Amino acid sequence: MIMWGGATAASQYEGGFDKKKGIDTQDCRPYLPRNSNATMQTRLLTKQVIQESKDEESKLYYPFRVGTKGYEYVEEDLNLLKELGIQIYRFSLSWARLFPKGIEEKPDMEGVQYYDQIFEFCKQNNIKIFLTMNHYAVPLYLVENYGGWTNRNMIRYYLNFANFVFERWGSYVDYWLPFNEINAGYFSPYNGTGLIKPESEGYDMQKVFESLHHQFVANAKTIQLAKKLKVSGEFGAMISCFCYYPFTPKPEDNFKLVKEEQVNQWFCSDVLMKGKYPYYMDDFFEKNKVNLNITKDDKKVLSEFPCEFISFSYYSSSVVTTEEVEKTAGNLVITTKNPYLQASEWGWQIDAIGLRTTLNKVYDRYNCPVIIAENGFGAKDVLEKEQVHDLYRINYFDSHFNEIIKAEKEDKVDIRAYIAWGIIDIVSAGSCEMDKRYGVIYVDGDNEGNGTYRRYKKDSFYWYQDFIKKQTNKI
């Protein structure tokens, strides 16, 4: 049976920047009022932007330093999740909260104690844990002093972090995820790997894929370390999935789809699941002048320590074409507008059948357990008399849950869990704003950090609570 759960991410949820936490890459992203370029600007950070973020006189607001104040509200939030009845909770650790610079030998104990209470609460209340070890946020010190993931030494620092996590919380975790949406390192390099953008040009593809390669090796060595320490739980890979459709039946559109899907969607998971680089990247690397230093030891550890389950995020489908047609937004990407689908206020195209299609494609490709690690509906909720009437989110859940159940019952896909994204309202990683809410629990904060930050249960809270009860009773 499918477990039904919810997720948060440390950088978008916790806040607590005034504690002993070190500054990380997400803490440098400013809120910019939404326009045609704002979302892109908050994901393409240069040295100048990062330098300004460290200036105490800066007039910009940095929302990830506040999140939705999960550091302060953790006890209340955990009790709300218990009341909701989720069976699995996906959360992430802040590397910089545990190791402020990323190079320390021992962690900061205040950060450790913060996470202790989450692990203990889940254990005591029989809530399974899906732990994201690193969710987009890299200690800024490592980026500025070592070049971040372009430097092979990052593997050593990551393993030091992982070793502590295993020793402290290894017995609590059911599902381990070393890196969130690892393919974002290609299409959103700052988020995925902390790669700083040159001032007047695009990203260097050599550095992009060096960074990804070092994450691949770190992922495999993390599994190797866990096996050595006899850590329980299964290890998985996670990618962002887009469910590509060709815009027309033209062969050219379909062939372009195949090539884009290979690089954007499948490349990273193919390496982590199959333990080697796929054939189709040879031509891509040659055309983009990418020459990676893949050692014999790299090849050996990748082949010997692949992932055991596959997980993915899915919010909307995408369209591929060779023609110049109207564009719209997606999860950290731009895509072609689909005339057959409705879209959210942010342009993300709503496609429940696309989720079922993706489940089939992923399961067919890897033939292992599948987890939907992120899914949900971002919308501008309105709090009126301490209530939020979010029928649009309920309708989104209902349509997508129906397709998930079909994929399990009719298509026989081995689905372990569904995890609703931003189960408690969090700051959007795509647009750095609070307006784009996903939660079934409303947090009273706005785009510039104003508000009480009190929690309120939305209509979708009660709907999801009832849904989980009904699914549990079927067992």
Catalytic machinery residues = 181, 374
Extract the tokens encoding 1: 């049976």
User: What is 240-278 written as a DSSP string?
Assistant: E---EEESSS-HHHHHHHHHHIIIIIIHHHHHHHHSS--
The CB-side HSE value for 429 (13 A sphere, CA atoms) comes to 25
Widest pairwise Cα distance in the chain: 63
Distance CA 104, CA 106 (A): 6
**Distance spanning both ends of the chain, measured CA to CA:** 7
State the number of CA atoms in the 13 A half-sphere of 311 facing the CB: 28
Distance of alpha carbon 425 from alpha carbon 444, whole angstroms: 9
b/e for 328-346, b at 16 or more Cβ within 10 A?
bbbbbeebbebeebebbeb
Pick from 247, 285, 244: which is nearest to 265 by CA? 244
Residue 153 to residue 214: CA distance in whole angstroms: 9
What SS3 class is residue 441?
strand
For residue 166 the two structure tokens come to: 């295993």
Say if CB 235 and CB 226 are below 8 A apart.
Answer: yes
SS3 424: strand
Ordered alpha helix ranges (H), 343-426: 352-366, 391-409
Stretch (H or E) spanning 219: helix 205-228
Q: What angle do CA 420, 166, 429 make, to 5 degrees?
A: 35
- Per-residue tokens: 88: 């699995």
Parallel, antiparallel, or unpaired for β 128-132 and 88-92?
A: parallel
Give the pair of three-digit tokens for residue 181: 């949406």
Count other C-beta atoms under 10 Å from residue 42's C-beta. 23
Residues facing 188 on adjacent strands: none
| Residue among 190, 214, 186 nearest 11 (CA) | 190
Which of 5, 3, 4 is CA-nearest to residue 423?
Answer: 5
Q: Extract the tokens encoding 104.
A: 């320390």
